[in-house]
Amino acid sequence: MHEVFWVPVLRETRISHHGFGKFYAPANMANFGTEPKSAKGKRILASRGPVLFEDEKLCTFLRGKNCSGEVSKLLVDLMTLKKPLAVSRKKDANLYPFQDSSVIERLANLSNTNLVVLGESSKKRKAALVMMRMFNEQLLDAIEINVTNYQPSSSFKGIEGCALGAKPLMIFQGAGFSMNDTPLSRAKNMFLDLFKGADPKGLSLQGVEHCIVITETEGGKLLFRVYRLDKKRGESASVPRVEMVEMGPSFDFTLGRERLPDFTLWKASMKKPTKLSTTSAASTDETGGAKPKKKSNKNISTDGLGRTIGRIHMGRQDYTKLNTVHRKSKFASSNGGPSQKRSRH
């Protein structure tokens, strides 16, 4: 079973519209702290409210204190796929995102990011990545993957990499990805958020340079592969023949520990703008926005050519006060007296 996605918008969290500013807080601050008292604070809070189309998500790639060279190379490869929306940091202290997330929340706040990928190595987990999402400067959810059979991008010789900032085509193979509220579906949501990038206004076939394929296999093992899409001359001039060439990185992984989001925080992160949230699907257009209301006026009609014709009602006018231009008659006399017609005889 194959599912192909052009990385849709999944969640309504975003960073500030002023570049990569601080994370926005929900419009209702009753559950998250005190409400702003000044007019400027209210304006800033309103600007950080939920939006229909979110901004690009910046990600912090964090190396823990016990991080092997293999995990460091993997973080560099993933950061290359995420660039330019990527920040690299190294923390000498031990980080425990599933026990205490305060340090990670502070680091994410300093980097102004709402995605964090932590690489760590331990006796139980030789190569592990923890992918986390932030909302309202708090850890929203996290998922751990245990990596095996890692091959860096440098091992694929002669394969040209993709352009900086190119959006990938995401392919998920396996029936488990289509189920609701399962670890696989949550992992799929996390990967889509990580590699989503900017929302394009249009799609160019030449701009799709690479694809990320995540495959489910028997035994719970998942395969992460990255392919370059080489476009060759096809039978049709407008439709090329596409060849997939593996460009790396390549690794296998299994799902480990997971931290589910708090219900109140998750509900606030999924909140949509009030003006665009409707109960009826008929009141939204194809882009998800609200349709303009139809004018129901009996004085407005449309003719056969599609032109809109309207009738207006005016009150009675006083023509005695109408200012008009008076012109001289051509038979008027020069002395201003009554005009007389000349006799022909």
- Average pLDDT of the chain is 78
Residue 136: which domain range?
2-199+206-276
- % pLDDT > 70, the chain: 77
Q: Do the domain assignments include residue 308?
A: no
Q: How large is the average pLDDT for residues 172-195? A: 91
The answer as to whether 302 is a domain residue is no
Task: Identify whether 301 is part of a domain.
Answer: no
Residue 255 counted as domain residue: yes
pLDDT category of residue 329 using cuts at 50, 70 and 90: low
The confidence band for 78, taking pLDDT boundaries of 50, 70 and 90, is very high
Closest CA to 187 of 73, 79, 178, 118: 178
The Cβ of residue 216 has, within 10 Å, a number of other Cβ atoms equal to: 18
**Residue 156 belongs to a domain with what CATH number?**
3.40.50.10480
Mean pLDDT of all residues in 323-345: 61
- What pLDDT sits at residue 21? 37
44-53, 101-110, 298-307: least confident range: 44-53
Lowest mean pLDDT among 1-10, 27-36, 234-243: 1-10
**Is there a contact between 25 and 48 (Cβ–Cβ < 8 Å)?**
yes
Give the amino acid at 215.
Answer: T
Residue 97 lies in a domain: yes
Position 233 in a domain = yes
Burial of 31 (0-12, 13-18, 19+ CB in 10 A): exposed
Report the number of distinct structural domains present in the chain: 1
Residue 290 domain flag: no
pTM for the complete prediction? 0.67
**pLDDT digits over 30-76, tens only?**
444 567 889 988 887 777 666 666 778 889 999 888 888 899 999 99
Does residue 211 lie in a domain region? yes
